[in-house]
Amino acid sequence: MSAAATAPEQIRATAQSYVDALVAGDLEAVMALYADDATVEDPVGGGTVHEGAEAIRAFYSSVVALKIEAKVLETRVCGNDLLFNFEITTHFDGGSKATINVWDLMVHDAEGKVSSMRAYWTPENMS
């Protein structure tokens, strides 16, 4: 392990920091987790990979505008990879809501920033 390696605890903490930022609607806190040249694919197989800070900011600006609740269910750290399962509930006008069970895979760089995020969920994971 090189001196530049990120500690597993720091990588694991990204899951809660990410969920907290989404719930708070804090775009800057979300962006602080990502490297400038990161990629985001949400959902995987959806056809769109957001590349670089500008594209990622545009993607998350609509996400943080929503009224959401979320909780981390499970985390696994292997090397610089963080795999975590969380549940996110979006509340809509009129009292309706949608809950999605998501697995995110976040690859971290040597500075502990997320260089790649891939979200695994489909409509069958919604309730």
Active-site positions read: 18, 42
Helical segments of the chain, H only: 8-24, 27-32, 52-64
Residue 109 C-alpha from the chain's centroid: 15
Residue 91 C-alpha from the chain's centroid: 19
Instruction: List 85's β-bridge partners, or say none.
Output: 74, 103
Q: Which two tokens stand for residue 95?
A: 């009292």
Look at the chain and count its residues: 127
DSSP state at residue 126? B
